[in-house]
Amino acid sequence: MARSPGVLKSIGIASDHGGHDLKQYLVGRLRQAGYDVTDFGNAHPIPEDDYPDVVVPLARAIADDRIARGVAICGSGVGACVVANKVPGVRACLIHESYSAHQGVEDDDLNLICLGGLVVGQELAWELVGTFLAARFSGAERHRRRLSKVAALEAKESGS
């Protein structure tokens, strides 16, 4: 359930047209910082694109442990967050401030941060992503217990 406390280097990122510019900025900054970034799209800002088409493959890559963590961006971040949380094993949250960016990982093993490309500026987004990537799950018994309840709910709701 929890990721190893080692250095995270494998990051996935996805956006629809509303988050395209912010995604491009973050991809550059992440690569410059030494991260291996998998870009799940979109390559071009096409107004007819739909956030589930790019966020679901990102979320599945996280759930399958093909990437360590992810960043999903749409106009507000809300739609990306809603669809990401439909994938079992993904714990996504819309983040607009630093405390939740680290606390969500430390307590809830957050593995996907959602941002609003039309809401959050580039420098704040970079700060939030950096905080999210630097944070580690505490592994505290109470947090593991709560995550077990979340996993049980996912299994029950999916019929597994």
Question: Which residues have a catalytic role annotated?
Answer: 74
Count of positions (residues) in the chain: 160
Burial class (CB in 10 A: 0-12, 13-18, 19+), 128: buried
DSSP reduced 3-state for 81 = helix
Query: Looking at this protein, which amino acid is placed at residue 34?
Result: G
Q: List Cβ<8 Å contacts ≥24 apart for 155-158.
A: 155/88, 158/88
Q: Residue 14 contacts by C-beta under 8 Å, 6 or more apart in sequence?
A: 23, 39, 40, 41, 42, 54, 55, 57, 58, 70, 71, 72, 73, 80
CA atoms within 13 A on the CB side of 1: 20
